[in-house]
Amino acid sequence: MGTETRMSQRSRALQWVKKLGFWGFLFFLLKGLLWLILPWLLARGIFS
């Protein structure tokens, strides 16, 4: 894999992250945490 290909991939990844932005990151972070917390709460019997 040449350096041009790696730079191109890095450039595309960086552009995607910039487009996603802070709010997109926050949304997916909270969504991911809910996917972990809700089953845990159900297993503990907090939500029956």
Domain positions in the chain: 21-48
Alpha helices by DSSP H, 1-48: 3-44
Global confidence as pTM: 0.50
Cα–Cα dist 30/13, whole Å: 22
User: Which two structure tokens, joined as six digits, stand for 11?
Assistant: 């450039």
Q: Is the pLDDT of residue 14 over 80?
A: yes
Contact of 41 with 47, CB cutoff 8 Å? yes
Q: Is the pLDDT of residue 31 over 70?
A: yes
pLDDT band at 6 (very low <50, low <70, confident <90, very high): low
